[in-house]
Chain A
């Protein structure tokens, strides 16, 4: 497996081109994700963040380029190799994508039941354990996805993504549609689970708070390319106009503290 600066690369994207018809969405994109990190992936709406994620997990075809996961190129891998890789990742879809005709318990047990041959007792206990790890109570188990609130759906979907103890989890806007408290809880939940389970997290997000609090590294997609990848400090120091607008905008922490500083300067002048 490739590595850089002593860190092992688990997802390696090189010269990836993805397009629909004549419309190029990703143009020669390079991206590395290291083992054990939480990578926040940002970009404008419609810039192709989800497209990149879906291409990495093999839901969309690519035009050219290579994607290696755990050092294996999925395009040339045999069926059994691909299966083994798919078993090592979990995906949280934007809308949860829970199976609507199965209860929460069955949703959680579904991947475990398919891949492992465990006793019903252990399956039931594991469903409870997984559910409580994402901060829900066992009473939710009997519910159907249509009876869950938005935040609960996200948590159950995360529990299902984590059902097989994957090494990589892909999260597509995990905190969108949650209130700030719920989003904060979700962030710390992801951070806790990442620490305890040693996960690598690939998180597509727009939530600046998530980027600040949980992400080890941030990658930015703009103009069909990954224009920057690095820590929050690198992002804040960057002079790229899009990055400045994003990280120093009105809604960003940096932007707010700058505004406060300016206000503080104005107040004495008024007196």
Chain B
């Protein structure tokens, strides 16, 4: 293919340009530079003749570049003529000729300092909005709960069981595995360091209290937030995207009652059970490591555990679980309903859902710690 797509011969105030070769997409880059070079020729030019006779192929790319060439000459007040254009390409040129060259107004915004400050302001304001949305959702849930309590038959029991299967039963293996390993690690670290003081046996106290009060419930809720919270957000978000939620509304159903209540109830039932199972697995793992690595006999481990922990220790962990489940569920559903039309926003809200619920779970745990300390549990 020839590189001479456009050749020019200047003659005083007359400029003759001759096109050649294929004016198609593949050559558009070369052609553009040649056209720009041609337009930047002497300012003395008054009349321009573009001979397209030997152009073999023309597509929209070439047609647009030809149009750009004639426009740039015309705008300088030159008398511009295109000659020798093949009959087949007339319609295409006419089509391109009608194109207005103006670009749509760019979207507001940019990377300026004001933009940065504005985005900080927006995120601060959004914290407030999230809080309002949270309270709103709690209110809507309470209303739905009262309505369902008045007519228990309307509760979506099947849906709830299905969700419970997803978030509870199917999560058991991974929760057991992870909490077991965490139990092992705490016990190993404890034995390793406590041995220096000859206080090996206190490892059992540490494992027992830590797992039952804090770690069991925290690990489980963080897992659930990542595993089920994100799933809730993605499910509700894609339902929102495809107008399924609007469809429900127009049929006279309350999406909170149909979609959200069964999901959150499933979490509130599932998370305490998972917490219990997870705590037991962690204690088991701790005991195993104490026996194999620390030489503490299982009988002694259990004996020591009985002395170290009370029913209160266990209760503290279990009481927290349903509240954390509620927080995870509510955050996940709020974020799900915030999804807009694009797949990108689905991803953003799912991320936000997981990050927010893990953050809130940890903050809530802090408040519970203060609360239980002050009532002496």
Contact = CB atoms under 8 A, between A and B. Distances in A.
A137 B103 CA distance: 9
Given A101-B344, A165-B60, A165-B61, A133 B95 contact: yes
A156 to B, nearest CB: 13
Interface in B194-219: none
A116 B65 CA distance: 15
Interface in A107-148: 112, 115-119, 122, 124-126, 128-130, 132-133, 137-142, 144-147
Contacts of B98: 132
A192 B103 CA distance: 24
Contacts of A105: 104
A118 B32 contact: yes
Contacts of A129: 60, 64, 96, 99
B344 A122 contact: no
Of A101, A137, A198, most B-chain CB atoms within 10 Å = A101
A: interface residue count bin: 35 or more
Interface string A152-170: 0000000000101100000
B25 A142 contact: no
A7 interface: no
B100 interface: yes
Interface string A182-199: 000000000010011110
B342 A142 contact: no
A128 B102 contact: yes
B343 interface: yes
Contacts, number: 89
A100 interface: yes
Given A101-B343, A128-B101, A142 B107 contact: yes
Contacts of A138: 100, 102-104
Contacts of B96: 129, 133
B24 interface: yes
Interface in B61-100: 61, 64-65, 68, 88, 91-92, 94-96, 98-100
A202 B103 CA distance: 32
B32 to A, nearest CB: 5
B342 to A, nearest CB: 4
B172 interface: no
A197 B60 contact: yes
Contacts of B11: none
Contacts of B59: 165, 197
B342 A100 contact: yes
A131 B28 CA distance: 19
Given A100-B344, A128-B103, A129-B64, A195 B28 contact: no
Contacts of A132: 98-100
Given A119-B29, A122-B28, A192-B95, A146 B103 contact: no
Contacts of B25: 112, 115-116, 164-165
A126 B68 CA distance: 11
A128 B341 contact: no
B4 to A, nearest CB: 20
A117 B28 CA distance: 9
18 contacts: A105-B104, A115-B25, A116-B29, A122-B28, A130-B60, A132-B98, A133-B95, A133-B96, A137-B104, A138-B104, A140-B104, A141-B103, A142-B106, A146-B341, A165-B24, A165-B61, A192-B95, A197-B60
Given A103-B107, A118-B29, A165-B61, 13 more contacts: A100-B343, A101-B344, A126-B61, A128-B100, A128-B104, A132-B100, A133-B95, A133-B96, A139-B105, A144-B342, A146-B342, A165-B59, A196-B91
4 closest A-B pairs by CB: A146-B341, A101-B344, A100-B342, A141-B104
